[in-house]
Structure 1
């Protein structure tokens, strides 16, 4: 059994699309998959009066193992804003220990579990802790999603340093095209590829182009999860 924590260089840069792509790519290799969005900010009421988050629903529909929402998204906040502020406004304590417990329950049900973070890697969860502390408490290898646009180099390199500072392994990274008109896109990709490989031994898992139909299944076609798997191919990747 294995899990990966999907972090991003910012918000709205393709964490959910990449996470859904990973779920589809792993399941195509024959692995059972589960998904978790432990903290989700932004929810709407469906026709049955149930609060739902778009990202959490996309992850659930991309996984092969169904998980109760109370486990997959233990903290569903209604307002689409900074989670620590919304949680304080709604009287919710974002309990990292509870998230760790929920993850343990989910990971026992599938070969691969994808845990998607919220916002960037250092988004506050309360007055003292942030999503980096959550990733460290989970103790999972990190897959970093880089939104390819002007300014992404500094954001990506700083985030990779923050991951390392938490004592976590950066298992790989995904380049997601945010700005298809980005100048010198290939050269920027090459810069990150070389530095991530040299400094963090983190391989590029793929570059997702601007998709006309941005679904997990379509994103999976651009991802190579083989590099995360053991050469023997007989046991689950990651930890």
Structure 2
């Protein structure tokens, strides 16, 4: 039976895509068929194939099941701003029902493990009534939280965990991802989070550049996900 997880972050630039790609690589090495979706993305570049989002392209490079770009990233906005603002500016409306349909359609492709990556943090608005977090709740997906390790991350993490649980979702695990190479008391912050978050830590990823993903892969342990 395929397992699907929703990946969220403590904030924008917490490293959701970097960590998700590393988790895909770990699963690939285990011989699993993997795929990942980025249902909503804001920020695109023009390519010969049309507008494309870097996060979605990175996910496509890391997974080993072939899907078309529009399946991986069905809703793409040009400006890198909050999705509900981009939608208003472009005269479009994005709903949880619509995203659920896109995701369920793509997930019909044969696979063993999949990740659905959010945009920004947990409570990002889609429209005037719905949050992207509602997609995880609607699809009954366990959540993986990527903690962007920087000053202030403890409060951001605990507030996000509280909101995830209040939404009725299950927190399957979390990853400490060092996004500030000069973070003071990094290990002490990690230990505080381990004591405070009632979910398994799937890994502590040290700061690394985009071309050092092997370090991130080596730092992850997905055994707690029972895949």
| TM-score bucket (shorter structure) | over 0.9
| 1:115/1:102 CA distance change after superposition, 3 Å | same
Larger CA deviation: 34-43 vs 87-96: 87-96
Structure 1 position 36, deviation (Å): 0.2
3-state SS of 1:119 partner:
strand
User: Could you list the runs of 5+ residues in structure 1 that have no partner in the other structure?
Assistant: 230-236
Question: Structure 1 length as normaliser, TM-score?
Answer: 0.90
Q: For the Cα contact (< 8 Å) 1:17–1:215, is it kept in 2?
A: no
RMSD, aligned α-carbons: 1.3
- Does the C-alpha gap of structure 1 residues 213 and 119 become closer, same or farther in structure 2, counting only changes over 3 Å? closer
Q: What CA distance in whole angstroms lies between the structure 2 residues aligned with 1:49 and 1:178?
A: 31
For residues 181 and 30 of structure 1, the distance between their equivalents in structure 2, rounded to whole angstroms, comes to 36
Work out whether 1:50 is the aligned partner of 2:50.
yes
Does the 8 Å CA contact 2:11/2:121 hold for their aligned counterparts?
A: yes
State the SS of the aligned residue for 1:86: helix
Unaligned runs of 5+ in 2: none
- 1:77-92 aligned at under 5 Å gives the runs 77-92=77-92
SS at match of 2:219: coil
SS of structure 2 residue aligned to 1:101: helix
User: Do 1:2 and 1:107's aligned partners in 2 also have CA atoms closer than 8 Å?
Assistant: no
Deviations 1:112-167 (A, max 9, x none): 11111000000111011112212211210000000111100000000000000110
Shift of 1:95: 2.4
> Match of 2:102?
102
For each residue in 1:145-195, what CA deviation from the matched residue of structure 2 results, as whole angstroms up to 9, or x when unmatched? 001111000000000000001100000000000112212111111111111
Deviations 1:71-130 (A, max 9, x none): 211101111011100011112211221221222222232111111100000011101111
Deviation at 1:214, TM superposition (A): 4.1
Report if aligned partners of 1:124, 1:130 keep a CA contact under 8 Å in 2.
Answer: yes
- Distance in 2 (CA, whole Å) between partners of 1:75 and 1:217 is 30
